[in-house]
Chains A and B, each alone.
Chain A
Amino acid sequence: MSVDANTIGRLQRSRKSASLDLLRRLFRTRFGGIGLVILMVITLLSVFAPLFATTGPLELGAPSMQPPSGQYLLGTDSLGRDLRSVMLYAGRSSLTIGFCAAAMAFLIGGTVGALAGYFRGPLAAVLLRITDLFHTLPAIIIVLFSVSLLGANFWLQVAAVALAIWPIEARIVYGQFITLSEREFVLAARAAGLSTFHIIFREILPNALPTVIVQVSLDASTAILIEAGLGFLGLSDPTVPSWGEMLNRGQEYLELAWWMSVFPGAAICVAVLGFNLFADGVTEMFNPRASAAPPKLEG
């Protein structure tokens, strides 16, 4: 097939305007735009942490336990570290865990869900039982158990969190595959003799994407909360600063230094809120009935 340059250009333009259009629609939802802005801001702050930080993350030297002031914006901690710098670098590890654990959970859960939903039968029965099994235990218990077995290495921790949250992902993807594989366009693709690979990745998956994006975003927020819990318990990797680990330190000084606990906690709250709002926005965008204002009872 020969396509002239003009058509390609037009296609590219239309793709660009399509993504712009999506963005516009996201900003028109109740909370989606706020969520996206929050996520972009905290991501940029962590990526460019060295630009905004005054010192390195583990650098000492400031007077210890200083309340927030002009010089030390968020105060200093018991060891004499500038909390503003620690916060920025800690954001890196918290966000990394959020994104990576969610991605891993999507890979595991997505594969399991897709296999079970597409092939059904005994394979699905076995896979769903395994999913249930993991779902029985609370996430934090699974993570604590894994950490007690494997130790507190940063990447093992990411894997442990992913191991704890994949079952929900599997359930969601399974549900999508069950519904979508009955739809006409999939039947048409089957009738046209397209390969299973093509049907799963080119036909069903793109249509399941909105739902999957929502779940991955919620997973990321769960992962950040779990990491925060782990850090708070003093069981995260001690060489990597994180918001949870900062709260662990703050717990000892609740009476003397409120800023050591308030700021990291607020940061976690904002990051989680960002992911949740973004997820809400995407849901509303693709399924306006789900979270748009409900009909009100009159009279």
Chain B
Amino acid sequence: MVRHIAGQLAQAVLLLIAVVIIIYCLLQLIPGDPIQAMVGDVPVPAALRAALEKRFQLDQPFLTRLIGYLGNILHGDLGYSMTYRRPVLDILAERFPRTLLLAGIGYGFGITIGIAIGIHSAVTKHRGVDQAWSSLVLIGYAMPTFWVGQLLVMAFSIQLGWLPTQGMGPMISRAQGLDWILERATYLVLPVLTYTILETTRVARFMRASVSETLEQGYIVTARQKGLSRREIIMGHVVRNSILPVITVMGYSFGTAMGGAVLLETVFSYPGVGSLMVESVRQRDTQVIVGVVILVACSVVVMNVVVDLLYAWLDPRIRIASARR
């Protein structure tokens, strides 16, 4: 098991280094003179140019700069944001937990509800119920995330006036303790709901397919002939076996979920990593963009490792095989 984990981690680290190298190479493709861009629309004196080249190591060969860059990242130095006048790492440290909170809650609800719908859709005796779920899921799957957000805002904030839409808390607040949490929570309801709808449709689709496949297996026939009740078969045999592939798929689509946050946070002006990325693209704040890309890559890779380990732990076949080695 330890060897399995070590192998996974080594691969993950290599993948991350490769991502950083590719991003660095792509950055070299930006047309224009970097020093001119730093100084602005004025002629650059030769002395200043030389000083800047030395300061940012632009006079060094490409490989030296690349290694220096990798070293900086390992030390947690992701550069400095010109727009926010702060180190990039600070901004990310402030914003990432918020995105995790939003995505985490939405993901949790989405997986739970999606699994329930998928199972119900696959095992129900009424073809009409299955058709209804399938159609709903298909439509939900086709709706752009941010549009769902807009529709919910129109319904719950503008028409009904129940919930706030922008940001993650009131500008001025005197609330304390539990009231403070409740006040904050009202701001989270709509973004989380949107997220949940999005994730639910995806999970339900996979879960239905997975359960249908399980139902065709020989052990279900055996279980039936043993005289087990419908309930016992579903709880004891179908659910356990169908959930495994879904967990893998959901783990690997964590990246897509992070991508969804980019659009969602913009709809609700939620100050997370996604809206940071969009603002930085608009401001052409390259250091921040690269920081976000590296952060997202890291979290996706970490999530993949977690899923691999979870899978190895949940599936006795893999658990035993790796223990024997």
Q: Which of B142, B143, B216, B293 contacts A295 (CB 8 A)?
A: B216
Whether A138 lies near B150 (C-beta < 8 A) is no
Nearest chain A CB to B15 CB, angstrom units: 6
A276-B141 contact, Cβ under 8 Å, with A254-B150, A293-B127 = yes
Report which of A140, A258, A268, A297 forms a contact with B262, defined as CB distance below 8 A.
A140
Is B154 a contact partner of A254 (Cβ separation < 8 A)? yes
The one of A228, A255, A268, A298 in contact with B158, judged by C-beta atoms closer than 8 angstroms, is: A255
Contact A133 B19 (CB under 8 A): yes
Asked if residues A145 and B142 are in contact (CB atoms below 8 Å), the reply is no
Instruction: Collect the chain A residues with CB atoms within 8 Å of residue B29's CB.
Output: 149
Closest CB in chain A relative to B293 CB, distance in Å: 6
User: Is A149 within 8 A of B139, CB to CB?
Assistant: no
A276–B205 Cα distance when bound, in Å, is 12
Q: In the complex, what residues of B have CB within 8 A of residue A265's CB? A: 143-144, 147, 150-151
Whether A293 lies near B151 (C-beta < 8 A) is: no
Answer yes or no: B244 CB below 8 A from chain A CBs: no
Q: Is B4 an interface residue (CB 8 A)?
A: no
B window 180-217: CB within 8 A of A: 209, 211-212, 215-216
Inter-chain CA distance A232–B275, complex, in Å, is 13
- Cα of A290 to Cα of B22 in the assembled complex, Å: 38
A269 contacts B by Cβ under 8 Å: yes
**Chain A residue contacts of B142, Cβ below 8 A:** 221, 268-270, 272-273, 276
Interface string of A103-121 (1 = CB under 8 A from B): 0000000000000000000
**Across the interface, do B297 and A136 meet the contact criterion of CB distance under 8 Å?**
yes
- Distance of A228 Cα from B125 Cα, bound (Å): 39
Q: Which one of B64-72, B73-81, B252-260 is at the interface? A: B252-260
CB contacts between A and B, total, < 8 Å: 157
| A138-B289 in contact given A133-B18, A221-B142 (Cβ < 8 Å) | no
Report the interface size for chain B: residues with CB under 8 A from the other chain.
Answer: 63
Q: CB-CB < 8 A to B125: which residues of A?
A: 296-297
Residues in A whose Cβ lies below 8 Å from that of B141: 272, 276
Candidates B26, B124, B147; contact of A268 at CB < 8 Å: B147
Whether the pair A232, B262 counts as a contact (CB closer than 8 A) is no
Which residues of the partner chain A approach B229 to less than 8 Å between Cβ atoms?
299
Q: Enumerate chain A residues within 8 angstroms of B314, measured Cβ to Cβ.
A: none
B242 to chain A, nearest CB (A): 11
B91 at the interface (CB under 8 A from A): no
Mark each residue of chain A from 244 to 256: 1 if its CB lies under 8 Å from any CB of chain B, else 0. 1001001100110
> Number of A residues contacting the other chain (C-beta, 8 Å)?
51
Name which residue of chain B comes closest to A139, CB basis. Answer: B259
- The verdict on B301 contacting chain A, using a C-beta distance below 8 Å, is yes
Indicate whether B281 reaches chain A with its CB closer than 8 angstroms: yes
Chain B residue, CB-CB nearest to A275: B142
Interface assignment of B49: CB less than 8 Å from any CB of chain A = no
- Chain B nearest CB, measured from A243 CB (Å): 9
A229 near B: Cβ within 8 Å?
yes
Known: A144-B278, A147-B281, A247-B147. A138 touches B256 (CB 8 A): yes
Which single member of B139, B151, B154, B262 contacts A141 (CB below 8 Å)? B262
Q: Contacts of A291 on B, CB cut-off 8 Å?
A: 209
Which residue of A137, A148, A268, A269 is within 8 Å of B19 (Cβ)? A137
Report the bound CA distance from A147 to B281 in whole Å. Answer: 8
A129, A225, A280: most-surrounded residue (chain B CB, <10 A) = A225
Instruction: Tell me the complex Cα distance, A295–B125, Å.
Output: 10
> Does any Cβ of A come within 8 Å of B309's Cβ?
no
B144 touches A261 (CB 8 A): no
Question: Within 8 Å of chain A (Cβ to Cβ): is B263?
Answer: yes
**Nearest CB in chain B to that of A266: its residue:** B147
**A172 to nearest B CB, angstroms?**
15
Chain A CB within 8 A of B89 CB? no
Decide if B248 is an interface residue (CB 8 Å cutoff).
Answer: no
Docked complex Cα distance between A293 and B212 (Å): 8
Would A132 and B150 count as touching, CB distance under 8 A?
Answer: no
Minimum Cβ distance to chain B for residue A74 (Å): 16
Which A residues from 43 to 90 make CB contacts under 8 A with B?
none
User: Is B267 part of the binding interface, using a Cβ–Cβ cutoff of 8 Å?
Assistant: yes
| 10 sample A-B contacts, Cβ–Cβ < 8 Å, listed by A number | A138-B262, A144-B278, A232-B146, A233-B263, A233-B266, A254-B153, A273-B139, A280-B138, A289-B216, A299-B224
For the complex of A and B, 9 pairs with smallest distance between CB atoms? A138-B259, A294-B212, A265-B147, A272-B142, A273-B142, A140-B259, A138-B255, A148-B281, A228-B144
| Known interface pairs A149-B27, A265-B143, A294-B211; 11 further A-B residue pairs with C-beta atoms within 8 A, sorted by A's residue number | A133-B22, A136-B301, A138-B258, A141-B277, A225-B144, A229-B146, A247-B146, A247-B147, A254-B158, A273-B142, A280-B138
Chain B positions within 8 Å of A, measured between CB atoms, are 15, 18-19, 22-23, 26-27, 29-30, 122-125, 127, 130, 138-139, 141-147, 150-151, 153-154, 158, 209, 211-212, 215-216, 220, 224, 229-230, 233-234, 255-256, 258-260, 262-263, 266-267, 277-278, 280-282, 284, 286, 289, 292-293, 296-297, 300-301
